[in-house]
Chain A
Amino acid sequence: MTIDKSLLAGSTSLLVLRLLEQEDMYGYQMIETLAHRSDQTFSLKAGTLYPLLKGLEEKGMVESYEKSADSARVRKYYAITPKGKKLLSGKKEEWAAFSAAVNRVLEGGYNCVATGF
């Protein structure tokens, strides 16, 4: 099934922060993990991810460091900060309220079910 990409807009930072909450990751790893966990539904492009990560880093939500991958490569890893965890917690609640509201409407609406309209 093809998903309208505009549904993802605004939630990308939530997904990225959630990934980083579990472990520190580098950019490519984030794209791969996100695609894998969403069963290939979310295929984030590098052109979207890196500017987003830079923005999150500027706001202090994530921080970066370099770590050697092999003898020739030094990767830039990102880690979530306490400030980022706080933002993630808020965004999770926001998303829960939003998705619950959307579901209620899709299922006929709270008032309709409760009042029979």
Chain B
Amino acid sequence: MLPQVFEDYLNNLCGQIRWKRARRPVRRELAHHLCDQREAFLAQGLPQQEAEERALSEMGPLSQIGPALDRAWRPRPAWGMLSATLGLLVAGFFLRLLVAWLWGGSLPVGRELLVLAGAAGALAAGYFTDFTLLARLGRVFYLGFFALTLIILLLGIVLAGKSYLQNQWLPYLYLLLPVLYAGFIWSMEGTGLPGLLACGGTFILTAALGVVQGGMFLRTVFSCVIPCLAVLLTAIAGGHFGRRKKLYAAACLLPTVLLFTHLFIGSRQRWAIVLNPWLEPHGRGYWGILVQTVLRNAAFVGRGTPPGSSQVPTDDSQLFSLTFLVEQTGWISCIVILLLLGLFFALALNCWVKQRGLLARMACAALLLPLAFQAVFGLAASLGFTFFTSYPIPFLMPGTKALLVDSFLAGLLLSVLRCGHLGTERWQGSAWQPRLLR
């Protein structure tokens, strides 16, 4: 409990810091400083009141320290990443219009403007979300997500006789799982092997809910399991669970390696067909052959030969939009998309490696990897390597649900890059204990 004079001083001081999110960590550190100084004066034999007054005078004048702290604590927007993300959204707007026009001869400008506005809203919502909420409410968010998944899976959400958030939303909601999982892991700080096992157990339960959805198995594995594993390994490497890093890493890598070995051995035939669809031309290789035939006849610029013989699969127009675009406009469109995505991911990777706070590094992994997997598998499907029913290429190709979720993820990523330096402290207590017990 701080004396009132300290409270007043800190209120006046921190009130001068314009970035409100920074006030709490600054206030906490300076409060400890004032208490240390007061105790030193008390030890010298000064009375309580004088010790408090001397401690305040030792801090320096408010008129100097306030502006100095305000200058030091500023959000650091990642302007390059922000520009690249906005550029992707705008490019996606025009590309989707182009696809719609080439596909059906219409220009759904109004609809695409609405989609763009929704994506911009989701981006802004993520950007202005305080990512340190993950640290404070990690368990609540994660368990809430688990409960929501269960409800959607079993019932869907019915309001006024209309069903919302049905099962088709689940694959997109699962893209949020890694970042929520990062918050859950953060709440297990210093809990050692029991905490790690709790993280593993709850994750298996949540991932299993996604896996039981038809057709979501591989998609869940690649877009959720691998990013979540990366987040967990980042936490272990940062000493989050304790000092026995090798043991903890082995405890989570061993079951994962076994799972993936089983997965790849069990579906060898499937991978072989993905790489060479001619092995099963009338079965699982059918789509791959169609796509590869179209691409083989595509020009570098302009419509491919023979013209007018579109064979792009129409069963899943979102997944093969890029194939269709290449057929109609040439490989140049694919190159432009690759350059745009390459720039975005290069900038994001650069910002990620610069993060020094453990929570920020975990959050970056959790946000960036799902986007990266979507891009890789979306591009692979467009080029005729259909590993599984993937998500559309992020930001650029048709698919409103994916676009909204991806924009929110990108906004959160920008929020982490902007404010990541707030959460740089790591716990090194003499005895490892959960954050909630402190």
Contact = CB atoms under 8 A, between A and B. Distances in A.
A117 B426 CA distance: 60
Interface in A53-104: 54-55, 57-58, 60, 63-69, 73-77
Nearest to B431: A68
B424 A63 contact: yes
Given A47-B64, A48-B68, A50-B69, A73 B35 contact: yes
A48 B36 contact: no
Contact of A76 (B32, B40, B68, B438): B32
B429 interface: yes
A24 to B, nearest CB: 9
B53 interface: no
Interface residues of B, number: 32
Contacts of A66: 425-429
Interface stretch (B55-63, B89-97, B144-152): B55-63
Contacts of A32: 40
Interface string B378-394: 00000000000000000
Interface string A21-50: 000001111001000000000000111101
Given A65-B428, A66-B428, A68-B430, A73 B60 contact: no
B424 A64 contact: yes
B265 interface: no
B423 to A, nearest CB: 11
Interface string B415-438: 000000100111111110000001
Nearest to B35: A73
A55 B68 CA distance: 11
Contact of A75 (B32, B61, B424): B32
A51 interface: yes
B39 to A, nearest CB: 10
A50 B29 contact: yes
Contact of B421 (A57, A74, A75): A57
B22 to A, nearest CB: 9
A74 B438 contact: yes
A93 B36 CA distance: 34
Nearest to A67: B428
Contact of A27 (B29, B64, B68): B29
Contacts of A27: 29, 33
Given A46-B65, A55-B72, A57-B421, A68 B60 contact: no
B60 A28 contact: no
A79 B68 CA distance: 22
Nearest to A76: B29
Nearest to A68: B429
Interface string B314-327: 00000000000000
Interface of B: 26, 28-30, 32-33, 35-37, 40, 58-61, 64-65, 68-69, 71-73, 356, 421, 424-431, 438
20 contacts: A26-B32, A28-B33, A45-B65, A50-B26, A50-B69, A50-B72, A51-B71, A54-B69, A54-B72, A57-B421, A60-B356, A63-B356, A65-B425, A65-B426, A67-B430, A68-B431, A74-B32, A74-B429, A76-B28, A76-B425
Interface of A: 26-29, 32, 45-48, 50-51, 54-55, 57-58, 60, 63-69, 73-77
Given A46-B60, A57-B424, 8 more contacts: A28-B36, A45-B65, A48-B68, A55-B72, A57-B356, A60-B356, A67-B428, A67-B430
Which 8 A-B residue pairs are closest in the complex by CB-CB distance?
A47-B65, A47-B60, A45-B60, A51-B72, A54-B72, A28-B36, A51-B68, A65-B426
